[in-house]
Structure 1
Amino acid sequence: SQALRGTYVNHVLQLSDTRLSISTQTSGLFIYDVETNTIERITAQDGLESNSCLRTFQDYTGNLWVGMQSGIAIVYINSPMRYINQEIGLNGSGYEAFESENGTYYSTSNGIYFLPQNREQCIFLRGTEGPAYGIQEIGGNIYACHHTGLFQLLSDQARRIATTDGLWDVKQLNSNPEYAIGGTYSGLYLFRIDDNQYLQPIQQIEGFNETSRFFEEDNHGSIWVSQYYRGLYRLILSEDFKSVIPEKITTDDGTPIDQQIILSSIDNELYIATSEGVFQYDQTKNTIVEDDIFSKLIGRQSVYLFEQDKQKNVHLITENQVGFFKKISSRNYVFVPSSLYQLRYYLNNDLLNISSNTERGVLFSSNEGFIHYNPNLENQLSSERPIAISRISSVTQDSILYLLNPFEKKPDHDLNLVIGPYDKTIQIDVESYQYNNVTNPKFRYFLKGLDDDYGEWTSASMKEYTNLKEGKYEFNAQARNHLGEIFSTQILHIQVDPPIHLSTAFKLLYILLGCLLLLLLFRGQKRKYSKETLKIEEAKEHQLAEEQQKLVELQQQKEKEMLALTEEKMKSELRHVNNLLAASTMNLVVKNEFIENIKEELKEVNKKDKNVQTSQALKKIVKEIDTSLRLQEDWEQFEYHFDQVHGDFLSRLRDQFHDLSPNEQKLSALLRLNLNTKEISNLMSISVRGVEVARYRLRQKLELEKGQNLSKFILEY
């Protein structure tokens, strides 16, 4: 071979298939396929320690071990993945690949490349500088979508067909094969297929201007467009295909079709991949329903790629899964985890895409070129349990409780372990038997009876538990390999015995002692209850007697209050009657004084009148007045009643102030009755000024100080 010319060969190994492994002194390792007459070179640039390869060995899994002067390496020659990038002159992030009779086309972020048959380096197609996207064959011609429009690919040349506002992809209509539609940055573009089967641009389709990277045609001829951040649309084409009527798809049941939408056609049915799983468009019911084929495995997680290849495999990339659904029969798929899982972070996540227009596999868009993936080469693990519990030890007692010896057959049944109360800390080691990949698996652990669920994934292949309480537990460990597959160990049943003072015999003794103690407590409580009952009864009797005494005292108090009220009422009525009597008597006194004055005036008239008859008549009137008038007795009667009402007021006043005149005593009595000056003036038949003079004289005789109120003194006396 031209590739080996001038190279010193150290070793040649016939592999288990039609290939040869050729170790060279300075040029690395060559893998030559006798059947296809192709050769693959692996050097230090691909990961070898050096290009000096001495010898190779193939293990039973098909992997190739390489001995070099500076160490050893393992080469996964049966890996279903291969990088396609700068080694063949391909630059930029990949998007789409298309294999034709003359070679393979690659669209990248830098432009379009062409790799001719039997050539090792790509040719860049001039005029295609800039991001390139989908590549399709329509009418026997190959077309490439580009940032600037549409190109027709002719081996090592690209001819511009149309200039558009970016073009993601172009697809021939199933309902009208003479037309094709392209998805642009701002809607859809209409193409017509002429008689020579060439695409002819017509115009931008009116009525819809959202970016249309993902679009599909349903069985009714409607166009469905999923806009990653704005949701799902259904477009009804006009009869001339030049305009559409858009309908934004919404649901009432909470189906998440508002953002992160990817539209796919699987077995001629529309599927919608979302941030919460996969849904399907039911064309008979014209509604979005949850998928019943793939959702059982996918569940409610974000889906980033969901597309079917030519072999009818449905490729899937989700938040936690990478693989494909292998079609067995109609609506019958089996999920196969993919080795691509370990390279998922190298994919072109901004424009994630899969190309199925190539032989022997599919191409995934990568940050640098492409990753070629052949599902038929996916090497699955054997059905033998790939993870097992290898050792259980007591850290506290420094002893081994369980050990799986090397080369010993792994048990296929559950394990049982009984540990004592003094094994405060135990360590459980697990071992993963996965020889087909050097990538360390991840582990997680769950101890039922202590944990609520599995813990986080970790690279530690052991788990330590401290201070387990007595009881029964179930331990299970899981391992996740590079395919994303999860395997579980056999269940380990752990029984932690209690300390001797908590053993069954001691518990029975505790129960007997407890019963005895309860009996003693019961008797003591019974005696205490009897004493307390007696005390309570005595206290109740004492309380009853006190309450009865209080009732008697309360009754007596009420009677006293009623008596006092009655007495007060009688006194009030008596004072009222006496006041009326005093007032009446006073009025009588005043009238008598008035009559006395009339009598004196009659006497004066009699003295002046010389008429004997008149004189006799006047004397007779005066005599009758004297007979009926007893002024002094009326005053004494008033004074008596007044003192009865006012507590001997006049008597006490005369005893203290001896020189009070009768008029001053009367004035004092009227002031005691709280009469005003005008009322006193009328009763005493003197002027208001006379009353004031009389009050002044009374103040002097009562020896009141300046500023001291006379009425207040009389009322309070």
Structure 2
Amino acid sequence: MNQLKLNILFFLLFVIPFSGQIKNIGVPDIRNYKRTDYKGGTQNWNIDQDKNGNIYFANNNGLFQFDGASWRKYSLPNSPLIRSVKIDDSGKIFVGGNNEFGYFKPNSKGKLEYFSLSKMVNINTVKLTGYIWKIHIHKGEVIFQSFERAFIFKNNKLRLLEAPTKFQFSFQVNNHLYFQDITAGIIEYKNGKLFQLKNTTILNNTEIWGIFPMPDNKLLVATLNKGLFKYDNEKMIPWDTEANVFIKKNGSLGGVAIKDKFIVINSVLNGIIICDLNGKIIQHIDRDKGLQNNTVLTSFIDNKNNLWLGLDSGIAFINENSPFSYFPFSYNLGSVYASVVYKENLYVATNQGVFYHPWNKNFNESSFTLVEGTIGQADAIQVIGNQLLCAHNNGALVIEGGKTIKVLDENGYSRFQIIPSRPNFVIGSNKNGFAVFEKTANGLEFRNQIIGLYKSSLSFELDNNYLWLKNDGLLYQMELSSDLKKFKLIKTIPNLSANDKGFGSIQKINNSIYFQTNNHFYKYSKEQDLFYEDKKMSLIFKDIPKIKALTEDANGNLWYVFNESLGELMKNSNGTYTNLVAPFSSLTGNLITDRLSVNTINPKNIFIGLIDGLAHYDSKLLNNTVTKPTVFIRSFSSPSDTLIFGNEKKVSEKYLIPYASNHVKFTFSSPTYENLENVKFSYKLEGFDDKWSNWSTISFKEYTYLREGNYKMKLKVRNSYGIQSEEAFVVFTVSPPWYRHFLAYLVYILLGVVSISYMRQRTKMKIRKNKYYETIEQRRLYLEKESKIRQEQYELEKENEKLKKDKLKTKILAKDKELVNNSLQVVNKNKILNGIIHKLKDINTESFDETTKSQFTKLNRSIEKEVNTDKSWNDLEKHIKNVHYDFLKRLKEKHPTISPRELDLSTYLLMNMSTKEIAEIMNVSSRGVEVSRHRLRKKMGLDTKDNLVGYLMSI
């Protein structure tokens, strides 16, 4: 039940707020730009961005442009101070200062030039007084607003819009433009006229600094010192929310809406707040959380939904589009070694003690609280057996409800782990080695110190057989006694294999212990008492730099440290891994590499321990932040000229540089403002460089003494997420010197004519020679082909001869079969004659006369002579064996024990002769044939159900 409540709480606190882009936990990455960085005035009044991504700031000392790599300053002719800036779709940069307004646009060489519009005002009838506070581009008109009036510029003409009494400020909300007048209240500008809104004069005694869109066509009005009001086109009512409480206390200087989901409200005294449309504060960012100044004059959302602040002193960039937020020193956290969620509290183990923060309390407004009794270094915080156990320098502590309720042992501990084969016991690593704790009805209790080894380490793992420990670069293999009081086996292992020297790390992945060195992963086989490499796991880390530490999170993802950076092997649904490195580049140098702490609650809530605090990572926001960057060759200069790109100037096809100015310089920019220290450029000058340069943060390149010729400067950028841009390029030509002019080359050509003619002759000779060899080669190929054809004809003739032989053999076999049939007929004839002889013997010759008796005797002798002289039986046996020679050979090979008589019987059966015929031929009785058939079947191993003749035919 508690776990269910915790899951619901996670959903309410993290999943719902993250449906937008503003994180309600931790502080986003903040980058401050001081006046010494951009070399301008302190106050920044307005911000805008052009199509190329350059950011512009209306500053006390002029207009400042920032492209991510460098700052540029542009000034008005009669007014150093600029209060407003607005950029239209054509790229014109409209600005307003003190008694001056106009626009900048790039000239033919890309440099911004200023064009004054205030000169169009007839100073004889209208006196220019005061600042241009706001500029709006509204339905094709450019409106410059001062306190006295507004100047409307359209179609190169300027007209005036007078204030009913006196304007304060103006605001553009969706397609509506509103002004505040000190007596008329809020008025709307429509079709060139002003229309008063009902019941808005109640705010005449205060300044309105911001108007924001709300659902149902309502408006949110932010005042300087009266708080926030909601207007529904009929009445103005206070917005009774926690955002209003904050603004009433700290004042408002306007703000900006974010995607119609959130509102940034600038304050006079306490930074900014970001609230939702219900007035709930999602983020509060002030000086304590990283801003260099608490007075925010203006705010702006750039094209990547990141937040820029113009401060009373300086500029701030807030990376709201990042999946990372942080708990820095303002949250009372030092170096974070571990974190865990337990009973609706987030506990963090640090070098100063254990701190906790309730889930149901706003992370942005409250710091972490120190757990009582934990001052000192806490190496680990773990939930074991429904208890929160802390491995502390002062002992093994049990924590409950924000305080230490029990000290299990006063030795300093670094980590705990349950014994897999005996889950009621826990092993802890302490200063003197290892100790055993036992689960009892009263919770964990200290049982005994283990005798035998007095070394300790954070890096140890347990399986069903051994305790494995990494210490001093060695691996210790230890076996516990059955009573858990001593180590009965201690073995030191310096190397995992003959090829991989040393020992890197020990970790449990997918419930198996892996031993790693040089990114090769090994397992241990107890049966064979050896380490064997897991090729599949090693292959995963094949292309990864040498790792220092590795841990598996609750979702099966593998987190590793290399050099001073963090990487993640994110586990896919099919069991493969996706390597992510670039998203964590902002953490480089701030990780505790020997105590990697990654606490994955779910994909949206991952806590990573840092040297100076805790990072919160939402992996679901990563896809929203990864976009392809753009890159510009910002300027291209030589001693004779300078061209500037990136100010809406298009790169032409080709530029011509005289040879005397062959010293060129390129500057680079990429309007990518997140993690600028990890934005890197690579370039290649085709015609000079053979390959692309190494990635570098340097944003310029010079080439000296280029030879004449055509060149193409190519540039690309890689952002902090490892995404590369499309290539930018500039094509130019360096003219030759006079002594390499065209006329000089004509002379060189004339001198080379003879050489060319000679080479042509040599070439012709070579061609003829090649043709000769080609003819010979073709003749050789022809002969080879002819020989091949003859060989094929020979093969065909042999095949034909073989076919003839086979045909002849077939005819012979047919004749043999015919002869067998004839022989059988003769045998039958002899049988008949024998029968006649027996019948003649039965005749009584006594009654015959002498003549008849003599003839009868001659007939009897003639028949007997015919029977005795007939050799058909021998011919029959010969031909039968000749016809069935192949069959008899296969039968003998298959059944070597078969007798000659059984061979004869098999042949007769194959010829489908009846039992009676076989009996007569073999001179046995029919019963004898049946007995012989039974013996033959038995010798061939046939069952009574098997057909003997069918079996013989299958042979």
Q: TM-score, normalised by structure 2?
A: 0.46
Task: Give the corresponding residue for 2:356.
Answer: 114
Residues 1:281 and 2:522 aligned together: yes
Structure 1 match to 2:467: 223
TM-superposition CA deviations, 1:401-450 (whole Å, max 9, x none): xx866557999xxx999988776334344432425556573334456886
SS of match in other structure, 2:376: coil
Secondary structure of 2:448's counterpart equals strand
Contact 2:564 2:591 in 1 (8 A): no
Contact map agreement 2:347 2:354 (CA 8 A) in 1: yes
| 3-state secondary structure, aligned to 1:376 | helix
Structure 2 residue corresponding to 1:466, chosen from 690, 704, 709: 704
1:697-712 aligned at under 5 Å gives the runs none
Asked if 1:127 is matched to 2:370, the reply is no
State how far apart, in whole Å, the 1-side matches of 2:684 and 2:291 are: 39
Closer/same/farther in 2, CA of residues 203 and 33 from structure 1, 3 Å limit: farther
Paired letter, 2:444: L
The corresponding residue for 1:204 is: 449
Whose Rg is larger? Answer: 1
Q: Report the AA paired with residue 319 of structure 1.
A: N
User: Residues 684 and 714 of structure 2 are in contact (CA less than 8 Å); yes or no, is this contact kept in structure 1?
Assistant: yes
Deviation at 1:140, TM superposition (A): 1.4
User: Shift of the alpha carbon at 1:20?
Assistant: 3.5
Residue 309 (structure 1) aligns with: 553
Question: Alpha-carbon deviation of 1:168?
Answer: 1.4
Q: Residue 138 of structure 1 is aligned with which of 384, 391, 400?
A: 384
Q: Which of residues 150, 171, 190 is equivalent to 2:417?
A: 171
1:302-701 → structure 2 map (5 Å cutoff): 303-319=547-563, 321-349=565-593, 351-356=595-600, 360-378=604-622, 384=628, 386-389=630-633, 395=638, 398=641, 406-407=647-648, 424-436=662-674, 441-445=679-683, 458-468=696-706, 477=715, 479-483=717-721, 489=727, 499-500=740-741, 509-511=750-752
Aligned residue for 2:321? 78
Contact 1:174/1:221 (8 A) holds in 2: no
SS at match of 2:469: strand
Aligned partners of 1:235 and 1:246 also within 8 Å: yes
Choose 503-512 or 289-298, whichever is displaced more: 503-512
Aligned with residue 337 of structure 2, among 87, 91, 95: 95
Aligned to 2:434: 188
- How many Å separate the matches in 2 of 1:194 and 1:409? 77
User: What amino acid sits opposite 2:466 in the alignment?
Assistant: S
Distance between the aligned counterparts of 2:474 and 2:574, measured in 1?
Answer: 30
Partner of 2:505: 262
- When structure 1 is superposed on structure 2, of 118-127 and 446-455 the one drifting more is 446-455
What's the CA shift for 1:97? 1.6
Alignment of 1:55-66 (within 5 A): 55-66=298-309
SS at match of 1:341: helix
Q: How far apart are the structure 2 equivalents of 1:331 and 1:111? A: 38
Deviation, structure 1 residue 170: 0.8
The alpha carbon displacement at 1:29 in A equals: 0.9
Q: Which amino acid in 2 is paired with 1:210?
A: K
Q: Is the 8 A contact 1:161 1:200 kept in 2?
A: no
Alpha-carbon offset, residue 105 of structure 1: 1.6
Q: Give yes or no for contact 1:232–1:257 (8 Å, CA) kept in 2.
A: no
SS of residue paired to 2:461: strand
- Does the residue aligned with 2:586 lie in a helix, a strand or coil? helix
Structure-2 change in CA distance of 1:53 and 1:343 (3 Å): same
Amino acid at match of 2:377: P
Unaligned runs of 5+ in 1: 519-717
> CA–CA distance in 1 between the matches of 2:613 and 2:574?
35
Aligned pairs, number: 502
* Aligned counterparts of 1:367 and 1:378: Cα–Cα separation in 2: 23
Provide closer, same or farther for how the CA distance between residues 72 and 101 of structure 1 changes in structure 2, counting only shifts above 3 A.
Answer: same
Report 1 or 2 for greater relative contact order, CA contacts < 8 Å, sequence distance ≥ 6: 2
* Partner-residue secondary structure (3-state), 2:250: coil
Q: Which runs of 5+ in 2 are unaligned?
A: 1-241, 760-955
User: What is the SS of the residue equivalent to 2:421?
Assistant: coil
Tell which deviates more after alignment, 41-50 or 464-473.
464-473
- The question of whether the paired residues in 2 share the 8 Å contact of 1:305 and 1:353 is answered with no
Give the alignment's TM-score, normalised by structure 1. 0.59
Q: CA deviation at 1:213?
A: 0.5
SS of equivalent to 1:298: coil
* Contact kept in structure 2, 1:237 and 1:245, CA below 8 Å: no
The 1:500–1:4 alpha-carbon spacing in structure 2 relative to 1, beyond 3 Å, is: closer
Change (3 A) 1:70 1:391: closer
**Residues 1:407 and 1:437: Cα distance change in structure 2 (over 3 Å):** farther
Question: Which of 249, 271, 295 in structure 2 is aligned with 1:28?
Answer: 271
Tell me if structure 2 keeps the 8 A contact 1:309–1:362: no
The one-letter code of the counterpart of 1:460 is: I
Aligned to 1:569: none
- Per-residue deviation at 1:132? 0.6
Please say if residues 12 and 21 of structure 1, whose CA atoms lie closer than 8 Å, have aligned partners that are also in contact. Answer: yes
Matched, 1:250 2:504: no
TM-superposed CA distance for 1:254, in Å, is 3.7
Deviation of residue 72 (structure 1)? 4.4
**Is the 2:415–2:429 Cα contact (8 Å) retained in structure 1?**
yes
User: CA deviation digits over 1:62-87, x for unaligned, max 9?
Assistant: 21233444454332233333332443
Number of the residue aligned with 1:689: none
Deviations 1:597-640 (CA, angstroms, capped at 9, x unpaired): xxxxxxxxxxxxxxxxxxxxxxxxxxxxxxxxxxxxxxxxxxxx
Distance in 2 of aligned mates of 1:308 and 1:503: 72
Query: What is the SS of the residue equivalent to 1:342?
Result: helix
Q: Which amino acid aligns with 2:419?
A: L
Match of 1:6, SS? helix
Q: What is the alpha-carbon distance in structure 2 between the residues aligned to residue 190 and residue 287 of structure 1?
A: 31
Structure 1 residues 293, 145: closer, same or farther in 2, change over 3 A?
same
CA–CA distance in structure 2, aligned partners of residues 478 and 321 of structure 1: 24
Contact 1:164 1:184 in 2 (8 A): no
Counterpart residue type for residue 369 of structure 2:
I
Maintained 8 Å contact 2:495/2:501: no
Report how far residue 136 of structure 1 moved.
1.2
Tell me the amino acid that sits aligned with residue 558 of structure 2. V
